[in-house]
Structure formats: structure tokens, C-alpha cells
């Protein structure tokens, strides 16, 4: 060991060990395609999911039969779900697939597939 590392002490080594363990955990989650479970993603979900949930709720109110607008076909499949749950699952899917740099259509397809899987418990659209 060099003199510098010997003089830093056990507190510094414990902090460095903690940082390394944290970074390794985050790298493993990203490698496994579960980026939404990282600490940064959890903070983002905590802040953004309620905001997006409010927007989804407004959309569901407007087009879900409460006004004169026609209900889109895709909305009939998720009208019984909580808007905040839809927003949270959509954000998780986006965060998990963000590293693949997918086009918007493919990202929307994966989000819908995730919603279908969680809602019914089946993997029909695989």
C-alpha cells in the first residue's frame, strides 16, 4: 500500500467500499434492463409519476365517456385502472428501455405491452 492510502484511515476505506458497492449495484440493475430500480430512477418516479398521473386522469376524464368526445379504442382497455398506476408503469417502462434509444412507436408498444402484462397477468403480446 502506498503511504497516502495508509494515512487515510478506516473511515475513508469504508466510505470508498460503500461507494463501490453502490455503483456496482446500479451497474448490475442497468445491465439487467431494470434501470427503473436504480436510486436516480426512483427519485425521478417519485417526482414525475404524480404529475403524469394527473395528466392521464384528465385525459381519461375527457375521453372516457364523461364529455361529448368519442372514446378511443385503446382507452377502453385501461379505463378501469388507476391513472397514477398507468403513469407509474409507463414511466418505469420508458426508464427501463431508455438505454436502447428506441423510436417513439416502439417505446409506446413496449409500454402498452407492459400495461397489458401487469393488468391481466398474461404475456399475450410477446
* In a shared domain, residues 2 and 17: yes
Same domain, 72 and 15: no
What's the pTM value of the predicted model, to 2 decimals?
A: 0.76
40: its cell numbers: 436516480
Give the integer Cα–Cα distance in Å for 96 and 54: 22
For the chain, the domain total comes to 2
Does residue 125 fall inside a structural domain?
no
Q: Is residue 2 part of a domain?
A: yes
pLDDT of residue 84: 94
Q: Classify residue 99 by its DSSP letter.
A: G
The predicted pLDDT at position 55 comes to 96
pLDDT for residue 125: 47
28 and 40 part of one domain: no
CB 96 within 8 A of CB 33: yes
Is 111:94 a contact under the CB 8 Å cutoff? Answer: yes
The predicted pLDDT at position 126 comes to 46
Say how many Å lie between the first and final Cα of the chain, rounded: 53
Residue with cell 395528466: 55
Per-residue pLDDT at 39: 87
Number of other residues whose CB lies within 10 A of the CB of residue 123: 9
Residue pair 93/35 in contact by the 8 Å Cβ criterion: no
User: Could you tell me if 23 and 81 lie in one domain?
Assistant: no
Rounded-to-10 torsion of CA 100, 101, 107, 113:
0
Mind listing the pLDDT tens digit of every residue in the chain (126 residues)?
A: 555 556 688 899 999 999 999 999 988 988 888 888 888 899 999 999 999 999 999 999 999 888 888 889 888 888 889 999 999 999 999 999 988 899 999 999 999 999 888 887 765 544
- Domain extent for 99: 35-120
Amino acid at each position: 500500500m502506498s503511504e497516502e492510502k495508509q494515512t487515510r484511515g478506516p473511515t475513508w476505506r469504508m466510505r470508498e467500499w460503500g461507494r463501490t458497492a453502490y455503483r456496482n449495484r446500479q451497474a448490475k440493475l442497468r445491465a439487467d434492463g431494470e434501470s427503473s430500480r436504480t436510486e436516480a430512477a426512483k427519485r425521478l418516479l417519485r417526482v414525475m409519476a404524480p404529475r403524469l398521473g394527473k395528466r392521464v386522469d384528465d385525459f381519461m376524464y375527457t375521453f372516457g365517456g364523461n364529455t361529448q368526445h368519442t372514446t378511443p379504442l385503446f382507452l377502453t382497455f385501461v379505463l378501469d385502472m388507476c391513472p397514477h398506476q398507468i403513469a407509474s408503469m409507463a414511466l418505469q417502462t420508458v426508464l427501463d428501455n431508455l438505454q436502447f434509444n428506441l423510436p417513439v412507436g416502439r417505446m409506446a408498444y413496449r409500454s402498452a405491452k407492459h400495461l397489458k402484462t401487469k393488468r391481466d397477468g398474461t404475456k399475450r403480446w410477446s
